Amino acid sequence: MDKSALGFIELPNLTCAINALDTMLKSAVITFETWEKRLGGRLVTIIISGSVASVTAAVDTAKTSYDIRAAHVIPAPHPETVKMVQASKRGL
């Protein structure tokens, strides 16, 4: 995982999340890390990583194209934050 930055977006459903992820992956050099589904699929969080500039560009692109409920970029995430994302990838 490129630990330069982590990006998070929350969307209202899985279809929007998949479309937004596809758009982000096409718009910048980023890595899809994991996703979380909550509220029976009515809230989906996508987590990406990459350089600060790439993650910011990808999140900004998604924000202009999709119904984003929340979005955030964490530059230089703390190692414990990275561990939390890795735990999510393992399904913990």
Give the orientation angle of helix 14-27 with respect to helix 52-65, to 10 degrees.
130
The pLDDT value recorded for residue 37 is: 87
Terminal-residue alpha carbon distance, the chain? 18
pTM of structure: 0.90
- Cα dihedral 14/20/21/24 (nearest 10): -170
Domains of the chain: 5-89 (3.30.70.1710)
CB atoms closer than 10 angstroms to residue 7: 27
pLDDT digits (tens, 9 = 90+) for 12-43: 999 999 999 999 999 999 999 999 987 666 79
What the block records as the tokens of 80 is 């414990």
